[in-house]
Structure 1
């Protein structure tokens, strides 16, 4: 039975059923530290205090399901916070590129940026295993990239998405059978975007008919 984990950043607005499995849930939580949603949630990586608080809570949740969870960086300095924020923003931008300007159009391919980290490898009865390496934030960054690599090989990376509503952009895990979800919440985000797109099409047709 899978242990239920409450991810602190995602819990600010995300449905529990949309949480990513295992260590990928921590990656989703990192993505959801950004300022987003409606009402707008604060950026949890904006200051050292809020970042340390989030890391402590999120890594504690991760340790419940993964014994290889990195330790909380202590102390967290401005340089480490900047590297963590840069990683989050690069990943969010890469996931957002998968959305077309018009959500009714097919999504484009997601290109994850090249990010260098170090990792250790061990060989055992279960085969080769990657383990995070580095001190402080570098260990956290290493863990995130290992989880993304594992998700890529397991073909679950494509299910980690950000909401197609630019006013939301919340990260969610698409559990639909055909992996076709566009919205973090179809009720709050999907309907709003569909109405906006419909009005834009009507306006365009109106302008065209008068020309």
Structure 2
């Protein structure tokens, strides 16, 4: 079921059909704070001020879909922003490391970072739950990884993808039945890549015939 909320970063590139469900939508929104699209949108983590504005907006949406989520950091500084940027970059690297269609021919091996955090496990009438730990940016990090763990066990993590077009790399949630979507937007990213590949094949044939 598609949520009707509009995540501030992801809404610049996608409609609600491509929103990840629940708290996983926040992870997608974090990834989409980057400068993506054509024309390029601004990087929402370019400064402490813009990062604070995004955090406030994104957490307002998050609390609509997950009232138990931690509060947005209210003391973000330059060091905290550096940690948020590092988390965003590491997440993109991890999600890009093993695309569903397999590594492209001639691909260079990617060093996948290990993202770590702390979380509390509570056991109650509803079963076991992971709860974020820490304050400020560390709570954001803890919540983000909890959402990824939950999605992994729930079988939905494979649907959170990064566009296969290296000039895009936008994050999207693949709702296709067989989870086969690889492009952020097939009409732009897909066509661009297909045209580029076609021209490369023509160039290669031309070189081969000239030999």
TM-score (norm 2): 0.92
Shift in Å, 1:78 = 1.0
Segments of structure 2 that go 5 or more residues without pairing to the other structure are: none
Contact 1:94–1:110 (Cα < 8 Å) also in 2: no
Q: What's the RMSD between the two structures over aligned residues?
A: 2.4
Tell me whether 1:24 sits opposite 2:24 in the alignment.
yes
What are the Cα deviations for residues 153-196 of structure 1, in whole angstroms up to 9, with x where unaligned?
11111111111111111100011111111101100111111111
| Equivalent-residue separation in structure 2 for 1:118 and 1:153 (angstroms) | 18
- Would you say how many aligned residue pairs link Structure 1 and Structure 2? 209
Segments of structure 1 that go 5 or more residues without pairing to the other structure are: none
| Equivalent-residue separation in structure 2 for 1:141 and 1:103 (angstroms) | 28
| Equivalent-residue separation in structure 2 for 1:122 and 1:109 (angstroms) | 39
SS in 2 for 1:122: strand
Contact 2:122–2:128 (Cα < 8 Å) also in 1: yes
| Equivalent-residue separation in structure 2 for 1:23 and 1:99 (angstroms) | 22
Contact 2:73–2:136 (Cα < 8 Å) also in 1: yes
| Equivalent-residue separation in structure 2 for 1:9 and 1:178 (angstroms) | 27
Shift in Å, 1:142 = 0.3
2:64 aligned partner: 64
1:91 aligned partner: 91
Shift in Å, 1:97 = 2.6
TM-score (norm 1): 0.92
